[in-house]
Amino acid sequence: MDEAYWQSGPAWPERTKKNLDYPREALFTMLDRAVERAGDQPFTVFMDRTLTFAEVGNRVNRVANFLVSKGIKKGDKVAIFLPNVPHFPEIFYGALKAGAMVVTCNPLYKAGELNYQLKDTGALIVFALDHPTFTPTCYEAIEGTNVHTVVICSVKPFLSKAKAVIGGILGKIPKSPYYREDRTTFYDDVLKEYEPLAPQVNIDPMDTAVLIYTGGTTGTPKGAELTHYNLSSNVLQIAEWVYLEEEDVERYGGVRYGEEVFVGAVPWYHSYGLTLTMLMATWFAGKLICIPDPRSGKPPLSDLLRELSRNKGTVLNCVPALYAAIANHPNVSKYDLSSVSICSSGAAPLPPEVAKAFEAVTGTLLFEGYGLTETSPVTHINPTNRKYRKFGSIGIPISDTICKIVDMETGTKELPLGEIGEIAVHGPQVFRGYWKKPEETENVMREFNGKQFFLTGDIGYIDESGYTYISDRKKQMINVGGMKAYPREIEDILFTHPKVKMAAAVGIPRDEDPSNEFVKAYIMLKDGETATPEEFIEWARDKMAGYKRPKEVQIVENLPMSNVGKVLRRELREEEMRKRGQ
């Protein structure tokens, strides 16, 4: 289906260009521009401290200089094992300026999960948070890898002097119980000891900038190679699409340069938070509010609501579970959320009731989009107005993006309007491939009319107005509050338990929010072994990130199998749904 079909329809935003000019430049150029144009304006905001664009730019150059001094060359890998703290953008852009590829790592990873990523990428340096859990996890994870330096990042410098002193006395400032002297450098020393002189490295915009790990459509962790061009293109595509009408919210127009306040509620190691919050804030010289844990506070989410209100946040990108939690927060009426005006929902289906409840407490408009790690991530967005927004749809392909529905067997035959098949997308935001996995890359790419399309693994259809709908869940994926958990990865870890003969993991919808799932594991024990479900749940605490851990475990004598010996997860899920009356 040609993109002209939906671009000529009434839902296509009147002021949105169908084709854009994308800069062929290094990704860090957006920061250099912001430093030049808006150097005195605030950029990162965290706890009691705000850093301007000029200050962040200075620190970025120091980081780049440090990395080069440590032997980092073009194409080397630098890993960031951090939550949303102000160090993150400094390290991110600093690594790119040194010519490195950035490897973003989930700070919730256990040592084994992080170790796999560090080994697979061959990362040489890791930046980690000074923390009782994160730091020891990082030290354990670097064993058997190429990592020669761990840079420890402390939040203490971002506290007021009084809080830092009191926190130090009471032991409330996060701090590792030990440091490995042979491998450790402290971030504060990097900023003190290295000059703010960025090295001169020749960057091709088509070079890989970031390696973000995803299960793709199979669940085996793979590094998606996103180029400088992919990411900067997606920033422009998203910004071009967003245009607000006064009848919907109390403002008019698109993303405003130097005026927006981006709230970092979604993690920046994830492509959703990275592109829609951190990169967008940089491109538009916006204020970036660092939220390490959006669910912190008493009751939960209180800290996020306080920061949103105090900083008059205008741009909020979240998963549906967070929007639901905000709308249902017992004290939400005590916070002034009237500044919030650009709100996107992604990473999971957006229930209409959640959108309506959130809009009722904020007076804003919530629109749903779609994308994947492999697409930087956005490919579709609903119109950002009430007139053409369609609940249940992921929206319309954005500028320069073509969407096709292809047959599920081969992915080579385009299907007509209304027919259900696999969603395939083409555009400047589509990744260059999976790191060191050419066969996996070839399996998900198809050519139509001389253009490369990415097979998303999602099943859906396009209606007569050009809106795309997802009708079936992504192959084998479990959606845990917007985080992607893959059965195979969970099962591989369960198989390491000495009592496990076979294991299967499935996603079960939560009673209170059917669009949100939890992991249930089915375990067959080895002959002669005995165990309880609680034993496995407790064992998994140290083996996998919280969102991947089974919430329920069922010990079974047999698992349903196909005639070729594959566990039929769908049958397990369907049986569980019948038991629950769903």
CA distances from 414 to 217, 401, 423, 462 (A): 20, 16, 10, 12
217 CB-contact burial (10 Å; exposed 0-12 / middle 13-18 / buried 19+): buried
**Alpha-carbon distance 242 to 283, whole Å?**
15
Q: What percent of the residues of the chain are helix, what percent strand, and what percent coil, each to the nearest 5?
A: 30, 25, 45
Task: Quick: pLDDT tens for 228-247.
Answer: 999 999 999 999 999 998 88
The DSSP-derived string for 498-534 is: TTEEEEEEEEEE-SS-TTSEEEEEEEEEPTT----HH
CB 290 within 8 A of CB 266: no
C-alpha of 556 from chain center:
35
pLDDT value, residue 2:
57
Give the chain's mean pLDDT: 91
pLDDT value, residue 564:
44
DSSP character at residue 108: T
pLDDT value, residue 302:
95
pLDDT value, residue 503:
87
For the stretch 136-141, contacts whose Cβ atoms lie closer than 8 Å and that sit 24 or more positions apart, written own/partner, are 136/176, 136/177, 136/178, 137/109, 137/110, 137/111, 138/81, 138/114, 139/180, 139/183, 140/111, 140/115, 141/109, 141/111, 141/112, 141/114, 141/115
- Neighbouring residues of 185: CB distance < 8 A, sequence distance ≥ 6: 149, 150, 151, 152
Per the DSSP assignment, residues forming a β-bridge with 523 are 503, 555
Fold type of domain 29-204: Rossmann fold (3.40.50)
Task: Quick: pLDDT tens for 337-389.
Answer: 999 999 999 887 787 888 998 999 999 999 999 999 999 999 999 999 999 99
Task: Quick: pLDDT tens for 73-99.
Answer: 999 999 999 999 999 999 999 999 999
- The tokens describing 528, both together, are 């002669």
CB 151 within 8 A of CB 125: yes
Residue indicated by tokens 């919730």: 108
Helix axes 29-38, 53-69, angle to 10 degrees: 140
Per the DSSP assignment, residues forming a β-bridge with 567 are 561
User: 15 or 514: which carries more pLDDT confidence?
Assistant: 15
For 363-454, where are the alpha helices, taking DSSP H only? 438-443
Average pLDDT over residues 251-266: 94
Amino acid at 415: L
For residue 278, give the nearest of 262, 256, 294, 293 by alpha carbon: 262
CB 229 within 8 A of CB 22: yes
CA distances from 52 to 49, 220, 282 (A): 10, 40, 11
The ranges assigned to domains in the chain are 29-204, 478-579
- Neighbouring residues of 361: CB distance < 8 A, sequence distance ≥ 6: 326, 327, 332, 333, 337
Task: Quick: pLDDT tens for 523-568.
Answer: 989 889 999 999 999 999 989 999 999 999 999 998 887 544 567 8
Integer-rounded Cα radius of gyration of the chain: 23
pLDDT value, residue 167:
58
pLDDT at 476 over 80: no
- Percentage of the chain with pLDDT > 90? 73
Pairing type for strands 478-480 and 483-485 reads antiparallel
For residue 105, give the nearest of 90, 123, 93 by alpha carbon: 123
Task: Quick: pLDDT tens for 164-190.
Answer: 555 565 567 889 999 999 999 999 999
CATH architecture classification, 478-579? 2-Layer Sandwich (3.30)
Task: Quick: pLDDT tens for 58-70.
Answer: 999 999 999 999 9
pLDDT value, residue 492:
77
pLDDT value, residue 159:
82
Least trusted range by pLDDT, from 3-12, 108-117, 429-438: 3-12
